[in-house]
């Protein structure tokens, strides 16, 4: 499980760098400022949580069973939050207007918050 968590963090981090560069160079002239800002918010939150996954995967004080649900919450949160923002921010370019996908963004935020809170609980709750 630790390798899976670490690999997920590495891949999400690398993808955040690629998407950040794409936003800064490829989308800068194509998207209005507000859409570009939203896109960058998705990149920023993806990177924050990629780094958190690297920390989670390297934590020795939590066993794999205690990490498992934190990992699932964080990974699904990043996919729902960041990727829905990417789709919404670029909808003017793709011509695909998915207003319905906007409900996925707050769900992703709830999953991310839940992952952080579960991590805190798992760290501070005594074993046994």
What is the pLDDT at residue 12? 97
Q: Tell me: the pLDDT tens digits for 16-60? A: 999 999 988 988 888 888 989 999 999 999 999 999 999 999 998
99-106: list long-range contacts, CB under 8 Å, 24+ apart.
104/80, 105/80, 105/81
> What are the structure tokens assigned to 73, written together?
């919450």
What is the pLDDT at residue 96? 73
pTM of the predicted model over 0.75: yes
The values of phi and psi at residue 102, to 5°, are -60, -25
The values of phi and psi at residue 59, to 5°, are -70, 130
Nearest CA to 6 out of 63, 53, 61 is that of 53
What is the pLDDT at residue 11? 98
Q: Tell me: the pLDDT tens digits for 67-102? A: 999 999 999 999 999 999 999 988 888 877 777 788
Read off the pLDDT band of 127 (50, 70, 90): low
């Amino acid at each position: 499980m630790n390798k899976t968590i670490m690999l997920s963090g590495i891949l999400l981090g690398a993808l955040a760098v690629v998407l950040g560069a794409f936003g800064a160079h490829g989308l800068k002239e194509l998207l209005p400022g507000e859409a570009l800002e939203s896109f960058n918010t998705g990149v920023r939150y993806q990177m924050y949580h990629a780094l958190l996954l690297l920390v989670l995967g390297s934590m020795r004080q939590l066993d794999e069973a205690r990490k498992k649900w934190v990992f699932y919450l964080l990974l699904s949160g990043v996919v729902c939050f960041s990727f829905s923002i990417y789709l919404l921010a670029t909808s003017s370019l793709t011509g695909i207007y998915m207003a319905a996908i906007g409900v996925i963004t707050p769900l992703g935020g709830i999953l991310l918050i839940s992952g952080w809170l579960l991590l805190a609980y798992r760290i501070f709750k005594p074993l046994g």
